[in-house]
A and B are shown apart, each in its own frame.
Chain A
Amino acid sequence: MSHALHNDTLEQQRLLAKYCRDGVEPQLKDVTKGRLHNYRRLVFGVVREALSITYPLTVNLLTAKEWTVLIQEFFESHHCQDPQVWKMPFELIEYAEKNQPVLTKKYPHLIELLNFEWKEVEYYMMPDEAFPKESTTDFWNERWVFNPESEILNLSYPLHVKNARFISITDRGQYFCLIFRQPKTFKVKFLGLSPFFAWLITAIQNGQTNISDLLPTIKLQFGITDVEQLKQNIHPFFNKLCADGMIISSK
Chain B
Amino acid sequence: MSKYVGIGYRKDFGSAFLESDILDPAFVEVAPENWVDVGGYWKKELSKVANKFPIYTHGLSLSIGSPDPIDWGFLKRIKAFIQEWDVQVYSEHLSYSKCDNAHIYDLLPIPFREDAVKHISQRIKEVQDFLGRKLVIEIVSYYTPVAAEMSEVEFINSILKESDCELLFDINNIYVNAFNHNYDPKQFIEQLDLSSVKYIHMAGHEKVSDDLIIDTHGQAIIDPVYDLFEHAISKLNEPVPVLLERDFNIPEMEELAIEMNRLEGICQKQWSHESCIA
- B134 contacts A by Cβ under 8 Å: no
State whether A186 and B41 are in contact (beta carbons under 8 Å apart), knowing that A31-B144, A38-B214, A84-B36 are contacts in the complex. Answer: yes
Are B145 and A32 in contact, with the CB atoms below 8 A? yes
Interface residues on B, range: 35 or more
Are B116 and A5 in contact, with the CB atoms below 8 A? yes
Which of B43, B74, B99, B122 is in CB contact (< 8 Å) with A83? B74
A31-B144, A84-B34 given; name 4 further pairs at CB < 8 Å: A5-B115, A30-B147, A88-B103, A128-B43
Are B39 and A126 in contact, with the CB atoms below 8 A? yes
State whether A43 and B104 are in contact (beta carbons under 8 Å apart), knowing that A5-B116, A10-B67, A16-B146 are contacts in the complex. Answer: yes
User: Among the interface residues A14, A18, A31, A181, which one has the most CB atoms of the partner chain B within 10 A?
Assistant: A31
Are B110 and A46 in contact, with the CB atoms below 8 A? no
Interchain CA distance A144-B201 in the complex, whole Å: 53
Q: How far is the CB of B100 from chain A (nearest CB, A)?
A: 6
Are A125 and B42 in contact, with the CB atoms below 8 A? yes
Which of B33, B36, B96 is in CB contact (< 8 Å) with A13? B96
- A24 contacts B by Cβ under 8 Å: no
State whether A31 and B108 are in contact (beta carbons under 8 Å apart), knowing that A9-B113, A84-B36 are contacts in the complex. Answer: no
Q: Mark B134-151, 1 if CB is under 8 A from A, else 0.
A: 000000000111111000
10 closest Cβ pairs, A-B complex: A17-B99, A186-B41, A83-B61, A4-B118, A128-B39, A79-B102, A29-B147, A35-B144, A4-B119, A32-B144
- B68: which A residues are within 8 A, CB to CB? 1
Which of B40, B69, B71 is in CB contact (< 8 Å) with A128? B40
> Closest residue of chain B to A82, judged by CB?
B103
Query: Which residues of A (74-88) have their CB < 8 Å from a CB of B?
Result: 78-86, 88
Q: Is the interface of A mostly helix, strand, loop or mixed?
A: loop
- B212: which A residues are within 8 A, CB to CB? 35, 38
Are A9 and B143 in contact, with the CB atoms below 8 A? no
Seen from chain A, the residues whose Cβ lies within 8 Å of a Cβ on chain B are 1-2, 4-6, 8-10, 12-14, 16-18, 20-21, 28-32, 35-36, 38-39, 42-43, 46-47, 50, 78-86, 88, 124-129, 181, 185-186
- B71: which A residues are within 8 A, CB to CB? 83
A-B contact pairs, 16 of them (CB 8 A): A2-B123, A5-B67, A8-B147, A13-B108, A16-B146, A36-B143, A38-B212, A39-B106, A39-B108, A39-B143, A42-B214, A81-B101, A83-B103, A85-B103, A124-B41, A125-B42
- B214: which A residues are within 8 A, CB to CB? 38, 42
- B183: which A residues are within 8 A, CB to CB? none
- B38 contacts A by Cβ under 8 Å: yes
Interchain CA distance A13-B109 in the complex, whole Å: 8
Which of A29, A47, A79 is in CB contact (< 8 Å) with B105? A47
Interchain CA distance A43-B107 in the complex, whole Å: 9
- B65: which A residues are within 8 A, CB to CB? 13
Q: Mark B43-81, 1 if CB is under 8 A from A, else 0.
A: 110000000000000001100011111010010000000
Are A13 and B99 in contact, with the CB atoms below 8 A? yes
State whether A126 and B111 are in contact (beta carbons under 8 Å apart), knowing that A17-B102, A31-B144 are contacts in the complex. Answer: no
State whether A42 and B106 are in contact (beta carbons under 8 Å apart), knowing that A16-B146, A32-B144 are contacts in the complex. Answer: yes
- A47: which B residues are within 8 A, CB to CB? 105
Are B66 and A13 in contact, with the CB atoms below 8 A? yes
State whether A14 and B67 are in contact (beta carbons under 8 Å apart), knowing that A5-B119, A127-B38, A128-B43 are contacts in the complex. Answer: yes
Q: How far is the CB of B65 from chain A (nearest CB, A)?
A: 8
- B37 contacts A by Cβ under 8 Å: yes
Query: Which residues of B (25-40) have their CB < 8 Å from a CB of A?
Result: 33-34, 36-40
- A43: which B residues are within 8 A, CB to CB? 104-106
Interchain CA distance A18-B67 in the complex, whole Å: 13
- B161 contacts A by Cβ under 8 Å: no
Interchain CA distance A6-B105 in the complex, whole Å: 24
- A20: which B residues are within 8 A, CB to CB? 104, 106, 108
> Closest residue of chain A to B208, judged by CB?
A38
- A39: which B residues are within 8 A, CB to CB? 106, 108, 143
- B207 contacts A by Cβ under 8 Å: no
Are B33 and A29 in contact, with the CB atoms below 8 A? no
Are A2 and B103 in contact, with the CB atoms below 8 A? no
- B186 contacts A by Cβ under 8 Å: no
- B67: which A residues are within 8 A, CB to CB? 1, 5, 9-10, 13-14
Are B143 and A32 in contact, with the CB atoms below 8 A? yes
Are A21 and B96 in contact, with the CB atoms below 8 A? no
> Closest residue of chain B to A81, judged by CB?
B103
Q: How far is the CB of B274 from chain A (nearest CB, A)?
A: 37
User: Among the interface residues B143, B181, B214, which one has the most CB atoms of the partner chain A within 10 A?
Assistant: B143
